[in-house]
Amino acid sequence: MDAITKREREKETVSLMIAIYCRKKHGSKTLCPECAVLDAYARQRSDTCPFMETKTFCSSCKVHCYRKDMRDSIREVMRFSGPRMMFYHPIMAIRHVIESKIERKRMEAQ
């Protein structure tokens, strides 16, 4: 998988997870201001990540380039939305799991 595709998929997945979280936790059909800030921040971090080509996904990154407050927020979103992805976007959820496993095996082999 090339870096651009991987980067775009990571952003797409995180944005969807934030939207699911916001809809269920804040009752908003569009992103509330707090979730919109988190989404913009997460997208910006993905755009500037120097490790995108060699890491699996942000959720399993060991560098943690997010500010602490944003890292806490994104972790809460991931814990809430991760299991729900299967109900909202099963193809994306399965693709994410498969790609994560492939990337982990590739990293272990190096």
Residues 3-22 have pLDDT tens digits of 557 778 888 889 999 999 99
Instruction: Count Cα atoms within 13 angstroms, Cβ side, for 41.
Output: 17
How many whole angstroms separate alpha carbon 109 and alpha carbon 66?
A: 28
Q: Which two tokens stand for residue 33?
A: 């201001």
Please state the three-class secondary structure of the chain as a single string. CCHHHHHHHHHHHHHHHHHHHHHHHHCCCCCCHHHHHHHHHHHHHHHHCCCCCCCCCHHHCCCCCCCHHHHHHHHHHHHHHHHHHHHHCHHHHHHHHHHHHHHHHHHHHC
| Claim: this prediction has a pTM higher than 0.95 | no
pLDDT tens readout for residues 71-109: 899 999 989 998 899 898 898 888 878 877 887 787 788
The residue whose two tokens read 């707090």 is 34
